[in-house]
Amino acid sequence: MKIGIFAGLERAFPGTLMDRLNHTTIAGEPVKAELIKLGAVREAPPKEYDLIIDRISHELYLYRVYCKVAALSGTYIINNPFWFSADDKFFGTALARRLGVPVPRTVILPSKAYPATLTPHSFRNLEYPLDWDAVFAEIGFPAFLKQHMGGGWANVYKVHNPDELFKAYDQTGELVMMLQEGIEFEKFIRCLIIGQKHVMPIKYDPGRRCYEIDEGYMSAELRDMVIDYSTRLTTALGYDMNSAEFAVRDGIPYAIDFTNPGPDFDPQSITPYYFDWVIDRFVETITEILERPKPPEAPARWRNLLDNDGAVYPVK
């Protein structure tokens, strides 16, 4: 079995995972895990890897292109490169609500600026002026203005009134932004999800952006809820690695960020305790994938979880 990894600055996760995999057998075969090296990519490369782990194509798109053509040859990609290219946070919010997962009230906004090549006729489908009073009534304050695609806290603004919103909005240029209700939370939880079924809820401080080991932080009921919601979302999105953030208000966990197909696995961030859990679950998940007797179902199965009227199917 041959496994390839695309990785960027991180060292601990790919290095530790490769070391573990290179001392593992899967389906009776020894595993060879390595960092992938690319030059010019042929349009139909032969199958070289049984499985590829993609940790960096959101920053280097050539790797995503390669993953797509590798998938054509039968290579299993973590995470699916076709859905990775298509998802966005606004769709994810709409999907979550359909799946019965609490989410903040959210609207998507027209871009503040547009390419100079466009003409007035290009905007015939846009309402102008925008009914900002209706937007404020829907979302309220405080609120978060954030890019509809992206991550790593880039282009995220917390605003407390219309003046702050307009000041932030003026900085966003051609980006498509969404405005989301700010949840004033009493607890904040980030879940690491591996293989859709392995979920680790962790106390998280979004202000300091750090994880904390606190086994008594959440009740059993709250822990079960965030595990259930994380599983629903990740299964629907078809990810094999993900993280989901929940802001807890009045005992209700609101999913505020859960399309993270390249989650943080740095042991200095998630702590060595949770890092060991990630490595163990990753090896287990890779083994399960490669030992399946038939090719797995296509990811992005959200449509299968909803009926034609948008009602929710139970998630098994």
* b (16+ CB within 10 A) / e for 41-60: eeeeeeeebbbbbbbbbbee
- Name the CATH architecture for the domain at 2-86: 3-Layer(aba) Sandwich (3.40)
pLDDT of residue 313: 45
pLDDT of residue 176: 95
Instruction: Say if residues 313 and 306 touch (Cβ distance below 8 Å).
Output: yes
DSSP 39: S
* Helix 220-237 vs helix 89-98: crossing angle, to nearest 10: 120
Name the token pair of 94. 């709409």
pLDDT of residue 291: 94
The answer to whether domain 2-86 and domain 105-181 are alike in fold is: no
Cis peptide leading into residue 129 (ω within 30°): yes
- Fold assignment, 105-181: Dna Ligase; domain 1 (3.30.1490)
pLDDT of residue 307: 53
Q: Where are the domains of the chain?
A: 2-86, 105-181
Q: What are phi and psi of 85, to 5 degrees?
A: -75, -20
Cis peptide leading into residue 79 (ω within 30°): yes
pLDDT of residue 24: 96
Number of neighbouring beta carbons within 10 Å of residue 115: 8
pLDDT of residue 316: 39
Q: What are phi and psi of 33, to 5 degrees?
A: -115, 140
Tens of pLDDT along the chain (316 residues)? 999 999 998 999 999 999 999 999 999 999 999 999 999 988 888 899 999 999 999 889 999 999 999 998 999 999 988 877 777 899 999 999 999 999 999 999 999 999 999 998 899 999 989 999 999 999 999 999 999 987 666 889 999 999 999 999 999 999 999 999 999 999 999 999 999 899 999 999 998 889 999 989 999 999 999 999 999 999 998 899 999 999 999 999 999 999 988 899 999 999 999 999 999 999 999 999 999 876 555 544 555 655 555 544 444 3
Cα 168 to Cα 94, 130, 177, 290, distances in angstroms: 24, 16, 11, 47
